[in-house]
Homo-oligomer: A and B are copies of this chain.
């Protein structure tokens, strides 16, 4: 059996109130001797307060939920770490919840977070089609929520995103300025809003350069390496694109593999632009031209926003859009 506040009180010969006060640094009106005596007993018995019992009274658990699609997607570890560092600093602990973007898992975890009385939730990923139900549930639960990276189409919650449309625009424009005109596009899964936004940027840039949009070189991807590989094979074998814009680095990595396999040289025969600027980009030869998203920073900002809501009890709907940055590396080259 664990040692409780009662044990301390008894052994120190004081009331539990006194012990409680000392534990919570409310020792103002307490005699020095008493304080020392109690502290000594606490030390001796190595007493750790039961935060569960404390939560029952205070209605605070010092715990937040972090709900993401999949930690194995290399975009998320950085983001998670940014959240955790801020949380840890604020004396909070983080529940990690992987949903695989499954509606069931998202809902399940939401319920669990409610039941576990987390003080707030950072959520990355609710699908557009399921948004209404999601938002209804969250609001009913009355838990502060900050959306992260995905969910920008919903203005009912605070969130941190990058400006996906602008990012898509910058990437495409870069290729256009290098005289590419047949620019293949490997998008994210259908109906993923951030993919849609990136696609808007793609079409906007094409329009500006008066390049007609060719549906046959636009392929719906899945944000996975394998998906990029498959899409690239189609684009490179059946269509003769001179450039490919993949909506994330993982798929761009797949493009590299397809290129190697087909004996196509990057960047001489094919220019490639990715999205994320993952660390592993450094492994590629040539390095990938890509859009930088500072995932760690996004995590930090989201967590900071959440704690602001928690501490000040103000439900904020502020939406922060990070400025995307084009990182030009060796995978893009003037078309001639």
**A interface with B by C-beta (< 8 Å):** 2, 46, 48-53, 55-56, 61, 63, 66, 70-72, 74, 76-78, 80-81, 84-85, 88, 93-98, 105, 111-112, 114-117, 140, 142, 225, 253, 256-257, 260, 279-280, 282-285
Contacts and interface: CB of A to CB of B under 8 A. Distances in A.
24 contacts: A46-B140, A48-B111, A49-B115, A50-B115, A51-B117, A52-B55, A52-B56, A52-B61, A63-B95, A63-B116, A66-B96, A70-B81, A71-B81, A74-B77, A77-B77, A84-B98, A93-B95, A93-B112, A95-B96, A96-B96, A225-B282, A253-B283, A256-B283, A280-B280
Contacts of A225: 279, 282
Q: Quick one: copies of this chain in the complex? A: 2
Nearest to A115: B51
Chain A contact residues: over half helix, strand or loop, or mixed? helix
Q: Which of A93, A105, A253 has the most CB of B within 10 A?
A: A93
A272 to B, nearest CB: 13
A71 B77 CA distance: 6
Contact of A50 (B117, B140, B279): B117
